[in-house]
Amino acid sequence: MDIPAMRANFAKAAAAGDEAPLWFYSHLFLSHPETRQLFPVSMAHQRDRLFAALGEVVARVDDLDSLVPILQQLGRDHRKFGTVAAHYPAVGASLLATLEHFDDEWNAALAQDWTAAYQLVADVMIAAADEADDEPPWWNAEIIEHERRAIDIAVLTLRPETPLAYLPGQSVSLETDLRPRLWRYYSPANAPREDGRMEIHVQAQDGGPVSSALVRQAGIGDVLRLGPPLGHLALDTGSDRDLLLVAGGTGLAPVKALVDQVARYGPERRVDLFVGARTEERLYDRADLERLDKEHPWLTVTLAVSDDKYSPLEQGDVGDVVQRHGPWRSRDVYVAGTGPMVDDTVARLVGSGLPPDRIRTEVFAPSRPSPDVDGEVTE
Residue-level pLDDT, tens digit, the chain, 379 residues:
888 999 999 999 989 988 998 899 899 999 999 888 887 766 666 666 666 777 777 778 778 888 888 888 888 888 888 888 888 999 899 999 999 999 999 999 999 999 998 998 899 999 998 988 888 888 999 999 999 999 999 999 999 998 899 999 999 989 999 998 888 899 999 999 999 999 999 999 887 889 999 999 999 999 999 998 887 788 988 898 999 999 999 999 999 999 999 999 988 899 999 999 999 999 999 999 999 999 999 999 999 999 999 999 999 999 999 999 989 999 999 999 999 999 999 999 999 999 999 999 988 654 444 443 333 333 4
Q: What is the pTM of this model?
A: 0.80
Listed in sequence order, the residues at least 6 apart from 270 whose beta carbon sits closer than 8 Å to its beta carbon are: 242, 243, 298
Listed in sequence order, the residues at least 6 apart from 129 whose beta carbon sits closer than 8 Å to its beta carbon are: 75, 76, 78, 79, 83, 85
Residue type, position 138, single letter:
W
Q: Domains in the chain and their CATH numbers?
A: 3-131 (1.10.490.10), 139-230 (2.40.30.10), 243-365 (3.40.50.80)
Residue 379, pLDDT score: 46
